[in-house]
Amino acid sequence: MGVLNHNFILRLRRWGGIRNKLIFAIILFLTIPVMGYKMLQEMNQFLLRGQENALSMASQAVATVL
């Protein structure tokens, strides 16, 4: 039982104290909104390209009919 507790304590020390855990959590919580914002920008550009392609195809169809 003593060896198990010793290994557990060593693992906790490897992760560092509360300061390191807090820094990790702050970095994690700051990167999530940044990644979400970048994903929304990419989605917006993707949708705009799709609309441009649809409009181009529609104009080609009208030009073909005329």
Task: For residue range 3-37, list pLDDT tens digits in order.
Answer: 556 677 666 666 677 888 888 889 999 999 999 99
Contact by Cβ (8 Å): 13, 7: no
pLDDT for the residue numbered 12: 64
Is pLDDT of 48 > 90? Answer: yes
pLDDT confidence tier of residue 39, bands split at 50, 70 and 90:
very high
Q: Could you tell me the sign of the dihedral formed by the alpha carbons of 6, 8, 11, 16, in that order?
A: negative
Q: Which helix (H) or strand (E) holds 1?
A: none
User: Between 60 and 20, where is the model more confident?
Assistant: 60
